[in-house]
Amino acid sequence: MTVTELAILPLSTPPENGILPSGFLDKLSTAKKVLDNASGYNFHFFQQVEDPSLVYIIGRWSSVAAHDVFLPSDENKRLLELLKDDITISSVIMYHLDVDVYNMIGEADKKNVSEAPTISCNRHFVPAAKKEGFIEQFQKIKGLLQDFTNPFKVVGGWRIEKESEEKEEWVLFSGFDSVAHHYEFPKTEEFVKYREIIGFVDGFEVKHLKSIPGF
């Protein structure tokens, strides 16, 4: 099963005015080539809007096991060595989602969310006992968000490496023209129905991402 890797890299030094240094971008270019080659898929790199010192890597692997083979490899060790002065390795967050977020089969009328000017990355913290109810409710209301974000596809998946057996995590990606555009959604009549999903979660985390040019 194709899975999505979501990795969050904290920079050791916050970028001045939110602009990533050219030297670091060169290293990311090397990282992309290695990851693309190792996984057989194109990886994409993003920067968080709220905290520009956080870089997101979102890519695909044929399985978690395939990624696990790569992690202890010499190639990955060289990447970590390359980036050790730029990111805080010990604070990197990485996990997988049980979905291919870039799969566009049967979605000819839409654009992939990665093409959006601004991407909302929403983490939903769902009690395990409410997971089935959450899934049923989200299927009922997904179209409301999709209509607002068209033409960008709304896509989400469950975190595979759970923090606990009692807690599930649903990560949802949706595309917007801007952060301000996203915040217009709660002002719509449709959001009254959409917000019913709140009854199935313990909490949310909402962040926004922008694609790093060239990546």
- Kindly report the average pLDDT of the chain as a whole number: 97
Please compute the mean of the pLDDT values over residues 45-50 and round it to a whole number: 98
Residue 50, classified by CB atoms within 10 Å of its CB into exposed (0-12), middle (13-18) or buried (19+), is exposed
Q: Which of residues 121 and 214 earns the better pLDDT score?
A: 121
Please compute the mean of the pLDDT values over residues 62-79 and round it to a whole number: 98
What global pTM score does this model have? 0.95
- Residue ranges of the chain that CATH labels 3.30.70.100: 3-97, 113-211
Supply the pLDDT for residue 105: 87
CATH class of the domain comprising 3-97: alpha beta
**Would you tell me which CATH number, out of the four given (3.30.70.580, 3.30.70.100, 3.40.50.720, 3.40.190.10), belongs to the domain 113-211?**
3.30.70.100
Closest to 67 (Cα-Cα) out of 89, 34, 91, 108? 34
Supply the pLDDT for residue 106: 81
